[in-house]
Amino acid sequence: MSIEFGHFALVLAFALALVQMTVPIIGAQFKNDTLMRVGEPAALTNFMLVALSFMALTSAYIQSDFSVLNVWENSHSAKPLLYKITGTWGNHEGSMLLWVLILVFFGALVAVFGRNLPLSLRANVLGVQGAISCAFMIFILATSNPFARLDPAPMEGRDLNPILQDIGLAVHPPLLYLGYVGFSVAFSFAIAALIEGRLDAAWARWVRPWTLAAWMFLTGGIAMGSYWAYYELGWGGFWFWDPVENASLLPWLGGTALLHSALVMEKRSALKIWTVLLAILTFSLSLLGTFLVRSGVLTSVHAFATDPARGVFILGILVLFIGGSLALFAWRAATLTPGGLFQPISREGALVLNNLVLTTATATVLIGTLYPLLVEAVTGDKISVGAPFFNLTFGPLILPLLVIVPFGPLLAWKRGDIWAVSQRLFWAFGAALVVALLAFVMVDGASVLAALGIGLGVWLVLGALTDLVVKSGFGKAAPSVVFSRFKGLPRSVFGTALAHAGIGLTTIGIISVTTLETERIAAMQPGETVEIEGYNLRFDSLRPFTGPNFTEDQATFVLSRVTGKSLGEVVSSKRLYTARQMPTTEAGIRTLGLSQLYVSLGDQTPNGKIVVRIWWKPMVTLIWLGSLVMMVGGTVSLLDRRLRVGAPMPRRKPAVQGGVA
Amino acid sequence: MTRKQKRLALIAGAIGFLGAATGLTLYALGEQTSYFYMPGDLAENPVAAGQRIRLGGLVEKGSIERFDDTHVRFAVTDGSDTVTVRYNGILPDLFREEQGVVTEGVFDGSQIFVADTVLAKHDENYMPREVADSLKEKGVWQEN
């Protein structure tokens, strides 16, 4: 397929997006059904056109067509096929095209699964989606064209940044974008509600599945990015409070708050205006994240190339959408009927507290991320805000929230009884306390705070289980009744319990690895052994190895327990990517239970030894397993019947990955 | 509770919480704003021993000294001033003489910076921005 064909398809898609953003909204204003119905086919065709355009670029990558500038800059004929495909979005232009592809994919999903939405609401939602597509398509066409040709065509490409030549690139960006861009649907619903001036509990029920899906993908995307950085960068850090990471955490926090407030709106018809505002803010944070990463304001692995024109352009889009939507909010919010008030001690009260904490925590992360940019813009001084800032602000704000999480689902709507709930949680609390005590006494080097942190994680997991136990009437009814009640619990109850338990698992992982991690640094020659945490690691051999587009020195270690039981080999290597002459460290990682042994190679010393750094990372896998449990919770909740009745969700889960491949 | 009391409870809670968050943020910003230093900044405003900072600059030519297999000492310079850094561990893949580097750690009592983390530029297009900008200001930076 010719690259010009892809370019042309994108231009057509842009023209069609112009139609999609105007005609249905005008139709909705004048109550003209024919005009309103234009949105659906426009959204579907738009998706097909952008998909074609994306496929044209991907095929240029697969064929290593170096007459395409973008392919020449980021690919190499010796690269494995998988990295040729993923390389399509391993650069600025291609990743923006992926962004737009996912955006129009969500537009098409709304068109398909929104058949039972009121006609005018659907028209407005699709119109707003069209407007967002339009802005980003013109951004690509004007400043980041991936279809530019190069004449004469070079013989060989410049290769993809070796750090990106990893399976992580196949998973992390698509998941992250599905999350980022998924929030655009909630945003479009919010704008549509403001345009129509109508907002009721049904609106929340329509918005929630979309928000939940986006939240799940974002959870997965962040977790995957974190694991990728952990194993690829060679020193096993899982979170750096890097501005780019913060950019993905911000919409996650906002989206989490939105999920909870939409619940209050759906069940109690309260917090209506707040929920609309959160929907706007969450997508605004997604846009802000895109701006921070794509404009080159920040330098990191994620900023592929910097071009001031792009930064200004995205900033323009940002100002237009955030400013425009907030102005619309200010103008129209007063016309919406506000929701009722309620008792502080109740499920909705707990959810409000959740929202209060999450939004405040979001604000502190936002300040920490933008403050350096602001100071530099105003005074020219360069300051850097790092982990200490976030530990001092985000930590104290979010920890109390985690403590009260188990209470929320157990409180009744309208009027809760905090004492009754406390009694039900007694066993979970006791068990968590025991675990904390055990951790303090049994584990060497565990401080009081570390023990309490691990106890907190256990409290979250057991608190989530308590909710299931209480709701199935355990101890109050016959076992068979309990079982049938347990089976009959709404799926969303399981979803909540899983998501909350997942947070607990992640907490345990984070606390244990940050407080109990140990490391050894040694210069070793073959035959030497290092002991760490009850394991012996013997350096066996160092051998050269040649891969498809790299050469490496592979160090083989033999791992065994101190007691002598052999556990096989661990291979760690130093790799040199020949095209860019760039070295990388490929850490050797062995998972032992929930913990990991992480072996990284350093330089060779003059006397022929090699420096080896070995970390013992206790329970580190829980960080990502917890996120996985959260995602499963989200999926289970999405399958809840109550979300589907009268709601725009399909019987079967939409094949979300379909549009990306 | 009456409607008015409920609303008051909500507003009071929100204000209390936001107040706490603002307090924490201001405190943390006051403590943590000067986090990144170049050797020249330290010559003007010395940092107390034990305070955790980030130090960036170029690795001075000919300054890398290895004591035993894992302990290394090198100097970080910005063209005019220089700070000696001590480090135990694996240096990053792209750690070289006259290359940009960011180290994190504390000063011991004797004006030597004890780093526990050393970050070098990631690839030929990437250099810690703080370092690049500061070096450009001093005219030491060469565009490649």
Whether residue B37 is predicted with pLDDT greater than 60 in this model: the reply is yes
Whether residue B5 lies within 8 A of chain A, CB to CB, comes out as no
Residue A178 has, within 13 A of its CA and on its CB side, a CA count of 25
Strand partners, A590: A597
CB contact under 8 A, B89 and A360: no
Neighbour-count burial of B44, counting CB atoms closer than 10 A to its CB (0-12 exposed, 13-18 middle, 19+ buried) = exposed
Q: List CB contacts of A363: < 8 A, sequence separation 6 or more.
A: B21
Whether residue A339 is predicted with pLDDT greater than 60 in this model: the reply is yes
Which member of A383, A521, A522 has the closest CB to residue B34? A383
**Separation CA A197–CA A334 (nearest Å):** 9
**Separation CA A381–CA A442 (nearest Å):** 48
Q: pLDDT tens digits for A533-557?
A: 889 999 998 899 998 888 998 999 9
Mean pLDDT across the stretch A152-163? 84
To the nearest whole angstrom, how far is the Cα of B93 from the nearest Cα of chain A?
6
CB contact under 8 A, A163 and B91: no
Query: Minimal CA–CA distance to A310: which of A328, A323, A292?
Result: A292
pLDDT at A585: 83
Which member of B6, B32, B54 has the closest CB to residue A343? B6
CB contact under 8 A, A386 and B54: yes
Neighbour-count burial of A430, counting CB atoms closer than 10 A to its CB (0-12 exposed, 13-18 middle, 19+ buried) = exposed
**Separation CA A653–CA B8 (nearest Å):** 44
Q: Indicate the pLDDT class of residue B34, thresholds 50, 70 and 90.
A: low
Q: How many residues does chain B have?
A: 144
Name residue A581's amino acid: Q
**Separation CA A436–CA A624 (nearest Å):** 22
CB contact under 8 A, A603 and B90: yes
Which member of B6, B17, B29 has the closest CB to residue A389? B29
Question: H or E stretch including A542?
Answer: strand A535-546
- Report pTM: 0.89
Q: List CB contacts of A176: < 8 A, sequence separation 6 or more.
A: A217, A218, A221, A222, A224, A225, A248
Contact A368, A389 (CB under 8 A): yes
Per DSSP, the residues of A224-235 read: HHHHHHHHHSSS
Return residues 270-299 of A near B (CB < 8 Å).
298-299
**Separation CA A294–CA A66 (nearest Å):** 24
CB contact under 8 A, A389 and B91: no
pLDDT at A39: 93
Query: Minimal CA–CA distance to A88: which of A146, A136, A140?
Result: A146
Q: In the numeric block, which tokens belong to residue A654?
A: 């939409």
Of the given ranges (A340-344, A391-395, A471-475), which has the lowest mean pLDDT? A340-344
Mean pLDDT across the stretch A93-112? 95
To the nearest whole angstrom, how far is the Cα of A384 from the nearest Cα of chain B?
6
Strand partners, B71: B88
**Number of cross-chain residue pairs from A and B with Cβ atoms under 8 Å apart:** 130
Q: Indicate the pLDDT class of residue A584, thresholds 50, 70 and 90.
A: confident
Chain B partners of A371 at a C-beta cutoff of 8 Å?
29
Neighbours of A446 (CB within 10 A): 21
Residue linked to tokens 């130090």: B55
pLDDT at A651: 45
CB contact under 8 A, B69 and A609: yes
Which member of A301, A341, A397 has the closest CB to residue B3? A341
Chain B partners of A528 at a C-beta cutoff of 8 Å?
none
Choose between B27 and A606: higher pLDDT. Answer: B27
Q: In the numeric block, which tokens belong to residue A181?
A: 């861009």
Mean pLDDT across the stretch B132-142? 57
Contact A68, A132 (CB under 8 A): no
| Inter-residue long-range contacts of A514-518, CB under 8 Å, 24+ positions, other chains counted | A515/A445, A515/A446, A515/A447, A515/A449, A515/A450, A515/A453, A516/A443, A516/A445, A516/A446, A516/A450, A516/A618, A517/A615, A517/A616, A517/A617, A517/A618, A518/A445, A518/A615, A518/A616
Three-class HEC string of B35-104: CEECHHHHHHCCCCCCCCEEEEEEECCCCCEECCCCEEEEEEECCCCEEEEEEECCCCCCCCCCCEEEEE
**Separation CA A431–CA A592 (nearest Å):** 25
ipTM of the prediction: 0.73
Whether residue B34 lies within 8 A of chain A, CB to CB, comes out as yes
Nearest residue on chain A to B1, alpha-carbon basis: A343
Whether residue B128 is predicted with pLDDT greater than 70 in this model: the reply is no
CB contact under 8 A, B29 and A371: yes
Whether residue A318 is predicted with pLDDT greater than 60 in this model: the reply is yes
Choose between A656 and B48: higher pLDDT. Answer: B48
Chain A partners of B15 at a C-beta cutoff of 8 Å?
none
Q: Indicate the pLDDT class of residue B138, thresholds 50, 70 and 90.
A: low
Q: Indicate the pLDDT class of residue A158, thresholds 50, 70 and 90.
A: confident
Residue A79 has, within 13 A of its CA and on its CB side, a CA count of 31
Whether residue A115 is predicted with pLDDT greater than 70 in this model: the reply is yes
User: To the nearest whole number, what is the mean pLDDT of chain A?
Assistant: 88
Q: In the numeric block, which tokens belong to residue A249?
A: 């955490």
Whether residue A657 lies within 8 A of chain B, CB to CB, comes out as no
Choose between A647 and A197: higher pLDDT. Answer: A197
To the nearest whole angstrom, how far is the Cα of B139 from the nearest Cα of chain A?
17
Mapped onto helix, strand or coil, the DSSP state of residue B112 is: strand
Q: In the numeric block, which tokens belong to residue A202?
A: 């049904």
Of the given ranges (A51-55, B51-55, B105-109), which has the lowest mean pLDDT? B51-55
Q: pLDDT tens digits for A220-275?
A: 999 999 999 898 877 778 888 888 888 999 999 999 999 999 999 988 888 888 99
pLDDT at A270: 83
Chain B partners of A574 at a C-beta cutoff of 8 Å?
93
CB contact under 8 A, A605 and B66: yes
Strand partners, A530: A537
CB contact under 8 A, A384 and B21: no
Which member of B10, B14, B35 has the closest CB to residue A386? B35
To the nearest whole angstrom, how far is the Cα of A105 from the nearest Cα of chain B?
33
Whether residue A400 lies within 8 A of chain B, CB to CB, comes out as no
Whether residue A418 is predicted with pLDDT greater than 50 in this model: the reply is yes
Of the given ranges (A187-196, A362-371, A465-474, B20-29), which has the lowest mean pLDDT? B20-29
Whether residue B91 lies within 8 A of chain A, CB to CB, comes out as yes
Whether residue A379 lies within 8 A of chain B, CB to CB, comes out as no
Contact A66, A155 (CB under 8 A): yes
Q: pLDDT tens digits for A494-515?
A: 999 999 999 999 999 999 999 8
**Separation CA A162–CA A549 (nearest Å):** 10
Whether residue A210 is predicted with pLDDT greater than 70 in this model: the reply is yes
